Amino acid sequence: MSTEDAAATKPLVLIVDDSRVIRIAARKILKDEFEPLEAGDGEEAWEMLNKHEDIALVLSDLSMPYLDGMGLLQRLRNAEPERLRSMPMIIVTGAEDDDVAKTRAFAAGASDFISKPFDSVQLLAHTRSHIRLVKTTQELKETTTVLNENPATDPFTGLGNQRAFLERGQQALAHAIRHRGQVALVLFQIDNFDKLFVQHGKPVGGAILKAVTAAIQSQIRREDAASRISMARFGLVTCCADVDGARGLAGRICARLASTSVTGKDGALLPITLSASIVSPDLDREPRFEQLLGLLVKRLEQALAQGQCIVSDESGAVTSAPAAPTAPQMTTAVPPSIEAALAQLARGDSASLQPYLRNLVRTILPLLNHWNQTEQRGLESALERIRSQLD
């Protein structure tokens, strides 16, 4: 990166003071983290503020010729452009500035005060704080704009959000009842996402969410609707599908993820697994959507307790108070790939591999046999014993 590029990434801070010595002192303190601009009075500062739209903060003395700090502050707070009206302005006070002047400046909209001669730690701390606030405010505005333009869209994944899931689910159920069709609802939750997020941080958590999104989008049909309804929970509304069709769809999504992993902050590969629940109702009973949603969440809790499984019932029937509730059908998720299994072992997570060990060993036996033959290692009897143990 060139010096010019590096400077361009630094927030612009406008230093306004009629003392060149004060401006130089402030510049020396701020220049490593910020890009300082200088003005000798309020009028010059006003011209620069209108010229440089990316100035993020003003650091201004009160007592100056032509236009003093109070006049500059009033112009900012009464400006037409919102970026100027909301510009943070730190007032630099000296021994000549009494409490009355400070009170007036605060009432006029000063963001903060700092005294001179500058304390470098204080000046940096105050500047950082207000620049951070500017960035946070801008991010919130951008997020609000996205949400206003796409009120039913999750901005991170591009899928629908919770509102979209509820609306589409209610519409699909009403349509299926009216036309005697079929509908199924599916919930997915990423196993141990909270733990992974805490251990590996936001970038890895984001990569996991993107991988799940890609797996879902790769398997659903155009008429299906996918949504991210909370941090690590996804919902599907799939029309013209019974419980078997929905279970097959959920299984394909889990299978896609079984061959996917994300690199953790320590460089280890992190396998991604899901737990899921399915409801495909008996429409002759004309169930309410709230009933189905409650049952869906309850089954997801069962799936999460079991881990890496899909929980549904045999018929998809919904009753308000069954006398003897039938045991849910549990479909174990697809076994992890060899790569994912090795990553789990590296993390010390051997217990969850126990149900899949025989299949995993069978998978690598042809490779071991090939290596033994080509390298002439003389392991025929050992490999034969392994095969006999797997039969």
Shared-domain flag, residues 183 and 284: yes
Q: Write the DSSP string, 284-329.
A: GG---HHHHHHHHHHHHHHHHHH-SEEEE-SS----SS-SSPPPPE
Q: Residue 332's pLDDT is what?
A: 43
Q: Is 277 in the same domain as 322? A: yes
Sort 251 into a burial class: Cβ within 10 Å, 0-12 / 13-18 / 19+.
middle
In a domain, residue 208? The reply is yes
> Which of the listed residues 147, 174, 202 is the one where a domain comes to its end?
147
Query: Is residue 326 located within the same domain as residue 367?
Result: no
Residue 243 pLDDT: 85
pLDDT value for 153 = 85
Claim to verify: residue 391 and residue 320 sit in the same structural domain: no
Three-state SS for 110? coil
Same domain (yes/no): 344, 366: no
pLDDT score at 7? 46
- Could you give phi then psi for residue 171, rounded to 5 degrees? -65, -45
* Number of folded domains that form the chain: 3
Domain containing residue 388: 354-391
Cα three-residue angle 219-225-230, rounded to 5 degrees: 100
- The DSSP element (H or E) to which 335 belongs, if any, is none
Per-run averaged pLDDT (10 residues), the chain, 391 residues: 52 96 95 96 96 95 92 94 92 78 86 90 93 80 63 87 90 87 92 89 92 92 90 91 86 86 86 91 84 90 84 47 37 55 62 67 80 84 80 63
Looking at residue 39, what is its pLDDT? Answer: 96
Chain centroid offset of residue 34 CA? 28
CA 151/CA 154 separation, integer angstroms? 8
β 309-312/329-332 pair status: antiparallel
The answer to whether residue 183 sits within a structural domain is: yes
**Residue where a domain stops, chosen among 91, 117, 147:** 147
Tell whether omega for the bond before 65 is within 30 degrees of 0, i.e. cis. Answer: no
pLDDT at 256: 87
279 within domain boundaries: yes
Q: Are residues 359 and 333 part of one domain?
A: no
pLDDT of residue 101: 79
Question: Which pLDDT score is estimated for 135?
Answer: 83
- 155 within a domain of the structure (yes/no): no
Asked whether 338 and 360 are in contact (CB, 8 A), the reply is yes
Of 257, 243, 234, the residue nearest 334 (C-alpha): 257
How confident is the model at residue 40, as a pLDDT? 95
Query: Which residues, other chains included, contact 106 with Cβ-Cβ below 8 Å and sequence gap of 6+?
Result: 113
Task: Provide the pLDDT for residue 6.
Answer: 41
Residue 211: per-residue pLDDT: 93
**Six token digits for residue 233:** 């929970």
The residue count of the chain comes to 391
Residues 380 and 283 in one domain: no
Q: What pLDDT was estimated at residue 99?
A: 77
What's the pLDDT score for residue 175?
87
Q: Let me know whether 125 and 34 are in one domain.
A: yes
